């Protein structure tokens, strides 16, 4: 069982343009789609498509269209009741794959709802293989929430993955002495920012053929207790670093249609491979294959296993650097 947690779920509305977006102009769209979204929901959707036993935990209001959307795609879920409906996140896609996102802040959660969501996550973790917590935090939720839950899940009853950014990621990394996740999945900019590096420095280094700065950055977090770092780097691929080694995966050439959900698909691919008994390089290979497949699909469409081409992803070891503890 994989439990995904989405504190700030959404309805993802994707608008497809027939030409390049022009600021200040009037545009007519070729299509509009609405899908259940939020990063953890996307992970649950991808795993459900792969036949992996999954439960999506999220806050939502009664009769929220988000609930109807989840029911329509047969994703098992458990809802913590809220008073406000889920936010709507707008994605504008252009013919060349350029994606513009406009995200609402989300429904405000009061202290009682935050406590209820925490309790549901802790209860669902019993018997789970993984708890995957993803995305931004909504108004009203303390920025330390991911770190708080990781600390309470620190007993070895399941593995924990966290995929977040900005202040929640910084807060998590500042609380690793209380408990550390088994996996984090930052992109290059997020990994750089949490360590005080220039935002584009890591992805640029890999694009120039040098993954060592990514490995060194990930090692700083592993030395502080995190089990593994899966750093997704866009067209440059991804790097996986754990205590035993580091690997670089190069994606196949694709025609990008939308990058929305690509990182979530990568995380789903990693978890799917891990529960299937794959070793780290194979987990990385499936992660990148899933992310590449998602980027080649429109809107927030997520790939089925038949759309994932493992053999198109090349994985190579990076010189191992032992962790210091």
Q: Which of 133, 158, 130, 126 is nearest to 148 (CA)?
A: 133
Count CA within 13 A, CB hemisphere, residue 185: 29
Residues 301, 268, 313: CA angle, nearest 5 degrees: 85
Distance CA 213, CA 191 (A): 11
Which one from 12, 110, 264, 309 is the annotated catalytic residue? 264
The answer to whether 237 and 259 are in contact (CB under 8 A) is: no
Distance CA 17, CA 157 (A): 47
Distance CA 120, CA 122 (A): 6
- Beta-bridge mates of residue 90: 13, 102
Concatenated DSSP letters of 129-168: SEEEEES---TTS-TTHHHHHHHHT-STTSEEEEE--HHH
Give the burial class of 277: count Cβ atoms within 10 A of its Cβ; 0-12 exposed, 13-18 middle, 19 or more buried. Answer: exposed
Q: Say which residues have a Cβ less than 8 Å from residue 15's Cβ, sequence separation at least 6.
A: 29, 31, 32, 90, 91, 92, 93
In total, the chain counts a number of residues equal to 325
Q: Say which residues have a Cβ less than 8 Å from residue 277's Cβ, sequence separation at least 6.
A: none
Phi, psi of 59 (to 5 degrees): -85, 140
C-alpha separations of 277 from 1, 6, 116, 192, 308 in Å: 14, 26, 33, 30, 18
The question of whether 148 is a catalytic residue gets the answer no
Positions annotated as catalytic residues are: 264
């Amino acid at each position: 069982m994989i439990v995904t947690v989405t504190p700030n779920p959404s309805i993802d509305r994707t608008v497809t343009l027939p030409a390049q977006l022009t600021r200040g102009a009037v545009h007519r769209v070729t299509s509009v789609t609405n899908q259940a979204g939020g990063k953890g929901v996307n992970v649950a959707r991808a795993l459900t498509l792969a036949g992996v036993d999954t439960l999506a935990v999220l806050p939502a209001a009664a009769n929220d269209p988000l609930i109807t959307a989840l029911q329509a795609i047969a994703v098992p879920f458990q809802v913590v009741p809220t008073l406000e409906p889920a936010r709507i996140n707008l994605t504008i896609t252009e013919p060349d794959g350029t994606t513009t996102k406009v995200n609402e802040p989300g429904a405000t959660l009061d202290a009682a709802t935050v406590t209820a969501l925490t309790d549901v996550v802790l209860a669902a973790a019993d018997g789970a293989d993984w708890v995957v917590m993803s995305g931004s935090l909504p108004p009203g939720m303390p920025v330390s929430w991911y770190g708080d839950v990781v600390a309470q899940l620190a007993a070895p009853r399941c593995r924990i993955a966290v995929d977040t950014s900005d202040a929640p990621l910084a807060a998590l990394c500042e609380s690793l002495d209380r408990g550390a996740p088994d996996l984090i999945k930052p992109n290059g900019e997020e990994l750089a920012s949490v360590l005080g590096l220039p935002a584009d420095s890591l992805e640029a280094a890999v694009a120039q053929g040098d993954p060592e700065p990514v490995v060194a950055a990930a090692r700083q977090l592993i030395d502080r207790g995190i089990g593994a770092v899966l750093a997704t780097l866009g067209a440059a691929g991804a790097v996986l670093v754990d205590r035993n080694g580091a690997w670089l995966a190069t994606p196949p050439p694709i025609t990008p249609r939308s990058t929305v959900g690509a990182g979530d698909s990568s995380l789903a691919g990693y978890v799917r491979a891990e529960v299937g008994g794959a070793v780290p390089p194979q987990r990385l290979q499936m992660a990148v294959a899933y992310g590449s497949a998602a980027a080649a699909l429109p809107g927030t469409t997520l790939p089925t296993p038949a759309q994932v081409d493992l053999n198109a992803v090349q994985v190579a070891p990076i010189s191992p650097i032992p962790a210091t503890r």
